Copies of this chain bind each other. A is one copy, B any other.
Amino acid sequence: MSVKLVVIGGGSSYTPEIIEGIIRRYKSLPITEIALVDVEEGKDKVITIAKLAERMIEKSGEPIQVNWTLDRKKALRNADFVSTQIRVGGLDAREKDERIPLRHGFIGQETNGAGGIMKAFRTIPVLLELAEDVQEICPNAWIINFTNPAGIITEALLKHSAHKRVIGVCNIPFNMRHSTAEILNANPNQVKIEFVGMNHFVFGQRVFVDGIDRTNEVLTNLANEKLDYSPANIVSLGWSKGFINSMKLLPNPYHQYYYQTTDILTKDKEALKEHGTRAKVVKNLEKSLFTIYSNKDLNVKPKQLEERGGAFYSDVACSLIDSIYNNKGDIQTVNACNNGAIADLPNDSVIEVNCFITKNGPKPIAIGSLPPQIKGDILQMKAFEELVILASISGDYNLAYQAFIANPLIKDERKIKSLLDELLCAHKEYLPQFNKGGTGDE
């Protein structure tokens, strides 16, 4: 038995984590071939990564082959799994997504608000092309989408490509479960959180340890700021007692943008002054990571990688691949087609949900109706996501405008046009679909 994994965006600084995860699981999940694919601009990086990967594998002694290539189609031949972790426009584009909205008075964030929308606009057409290639070249392969905004992108692929084997992943539910396990003195495997919502807008409804409901303890810890499961890229302000006591739900770290908007805006403006954008911070982080990676004596994943926000992503992805390959039938929290699981949302919406995972992919566990206290916000976010997808694909200016105004973080008709126009212009190079039409001025 042998398994082939293709990593789209293989030159990413995250890749060593995946390599480590694959090596560690080799006995149960025999991935024997890894193809690292990147674009011309990423050639140096993917070569550095490939070499590091080879040293890591050599150290492990497992019979895994690793290659790099710029030829995606060739790499896809015989693939069983295709992971995607690309960044169209690179950190420069992210820098604009963070800086420009902030200057207009809005949250500037990679996956939320105006920044997240622009990232979707740049990324969806590229990944749709990938999905078409996969469908043609290796139709049985599963696409494991790491690329943000992961939920929106997964929905775009499932709705608009013929390839239906697409799963989106995020480390937030994983982090929430692990941090919660820690505070409850439990093993993460004993802990189950009933999640409800979408990627980066998911809530925990109930927490069970070995089937015993321990939600109240978790809420108390949250209300007393003794529990914090924010990743490295999000500085948490903590949640007020009133919020936790009245909502009786576990928010996720990204919810701060929606429920603490003013304070976060103030904090982010200050942070910008002091350190520049997060993109700039990450650029430096990346630079030093690649210096470390280039060290020919390095043959393990270096500790420093954990300072990035995406820690544990590979654990999430490798576990998922493992369960699919081995038809495990365990429960994992992934982004998958709703199919009625949340009764208030369309069947073809993508949600972040506990799924039963087998060789046939993820099957959501039915949730029923949305909790009333978040029903409105979730319905609004999903309607917003639908507009983002339509705009991404059509390149229609009015749809882009509608996506902006549908987002709760930029709901200001007196400011949207100039913000949108500046962003479309700044990212022009990566938005061919928007360059055909007008700018709504006619």
Contacts and interface: CB of A to CB of B under 8 A. Distances in A.
A91 B110 CA distance: 47
Interface stretch (A19-27, A153-161, A379-387): A379-387
Contact of A339 (B263, B358, B368): B368
Copies in the complex: 4
A338 B260 CA distance: 34
A417 B411 CA distance: 24
Given A210-B359, A329-B331, A408-B408, A242 B440 contact: yes
B405 A408 contact: no
22 contacts: A208-B359, A208-B360, A211-B327, A237-B414, A240-B413, A240-B414, A242-B417, A245-B440, A246-B401, A247-B401, A248-B398, A262-B412, A329-B331, A339-B366, A339-B367, A340-B369, A356-B356, A363-B365, A376-B382, A376-B383, A376-B384, A408-B408
A411 B382 CA distance: 18
A373 interface: yes
Interface residues of A, number: 75
Contacts of A375: 383, 386
A416 B243 contact: yes
Contacts of A29: none
Interface stretch (A63-71, A114-122, A341-349): A341-349
A290 interface: no
B406 A408 contact: no
Contacts of A367: 339-340
Contact of A366 (B341, B411, B417): B341
A321 to B, nearest CB: 14
A258 interface: yes
B402 A246 contact: yes
A61 interface: no
Interface string A248-263: 1000000000111111
